[in-house]
Amino acid sequence: MKCCRQECDKEATVHLTEIVDGQMKKIDLCEDCAQEKGVTNPQGFALADLLLGLGASQELEEAAGPDLVCSTCGFTQADFKKSGRLGCPDCYTTFAEALDGMLKQMHKGVQHVGKAPKALKQVMDKSKKLEALRGQLEDAVAQENYELAAQVRDQIKELETEEAGTE
């Protein structure tokens, strides 16, 4: 069996198996790739990195650069590569560009939607729509497109009237 890394043609000697929600995922690596990814040292091993095709931390390095450091906790790209985790909430902002691509690979999108009761979801949807319309209004006024601004203003008033009528 060959190593699962695309750049490697060596024979796989390290075989990892992970079972999540009853589904089994197998990863086969040669000794060199396993050592490079820290598989021989479980503390430095990020299975998420392996499941992403061994490219997650490499993608972060390319997008963020090896010299990028979080100003809050001092976390670096090398720290992320070693642990597979970020150091603090500000790391998400510091490494945002690279994390965006990684999250798109791992999940359906980059925004958590979650579940909410039907009535709350309707209120949240209206407030998001109002926020978007207010942004459009600001843009239209900034571009001196007053016709569009008037249309957007009317849409905002209509939504606000609906909202006031339901309360």
pLDDT band at 44 (very low <50, low <70, confident <90, very high): very low
Is residue 43 within 8 Å of residue 59, measured between CB atoms? Answer: no
Rounded CA separation 159/130 (Å): 7
Q: According to the model, what pLDDT value does residue 43 have?
A: 45
Q: According to the model, what pLDDT value does residue 51 have?
A: 46
Rounded CA separation 90/102 (Å): 17
- The three-point CA angle 134-135-136 to 5° equals 90
Mean pLDDT of the chain, nearest integer: 76
Is the pLDDT at 112 greater than 50? The verdict is yes
pLDDT band at 2 (very low <50, low <70, confident <90, very high): confident
pTM: 0.37
Rounded CA separation 150/44 (Å): 57
pLDDT in tens, 10-26: 887 777 776 777 777 78
Percent of the chain with pLDDT over 70: 71
Q: According to the model, what pLDDT value does residue 135 have?
A: 94
